[in-house]
């Protein structure tokens, strides 16, 4: 189920999906996540929302990444993922978007439920 959520302090909705998703998953302010990702990016001379940077940040927070099985690469949507994961906190990625799925709810500024997922993170 899609639930509107926007932790961006200025109400912006574009370009910061990684920051919003991680903030939701960790239960921390958008500003803290943004600063942490910027510091991580600075250390590696990369942008804070590049995959290597936010993946590294999640690994440092105890998350593990899992790939979506390739049995139906174009049909495993975020909606289906949320339905099959009614409990827990996940960060689900599509290749161009990241979103927090918490207890079966898709938390985002727009309904991205029809996007196809490629991998997800869960804190272990």
pTM recorded for the entire structure:
0.95
- Show the domain range for 37: 2-123
Domain count, the chain: 1
Q: What is the pLDDT of residues 55-107, one digit of tens each?
A: 999 999 999 999 998 887 678 999 999 999 999 999 999 989 999 999 999 99
As given in the structure block, the two tokens for residue 46 are: 């990369």
Reported as type and span, the H/E element at residue 121 is strand 119-123
CB 20 within 8 A of CB 7: yes
Q: What is the pLDDT of residues 9-26, one digit of tens each?
A: 999 999 999 999 999 999
Reported as type and span, the H/E element at residue 41 is helix 30-44
pLDDT value of residue 119:
96
Question: Smallest Cα–Cα separation from 99: which of 80, 113, 85, 86?
Answer: 113
């Amino acid at each position: 189920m899609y639930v509107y959520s926007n932790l961006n302090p200025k109400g912006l909705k574009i370009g910061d999906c990684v920051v919003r998703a991680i903030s939701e998953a960790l239960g921390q302010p958008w500003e803290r996540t943004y600063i942490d990702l910027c510091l991580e990016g600075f250390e590696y001379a990369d942008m804070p929302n590049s995959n290597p940077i936010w993946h590294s940040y999640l690994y440092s927070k105890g998350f593990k990444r899992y790939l979506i099985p390739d049995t139906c690469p174009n049909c495993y949507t975020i909606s289906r993922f949320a339905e099959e994961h009614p409990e827990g906190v996940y960060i689900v990625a599509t290749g161009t978007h990241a979103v927090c799925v918490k207890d079966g709810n898709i938390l985002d500024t727009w309904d991205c439920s029809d996007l196809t997922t490629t991998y997800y993170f869960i804190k272990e």
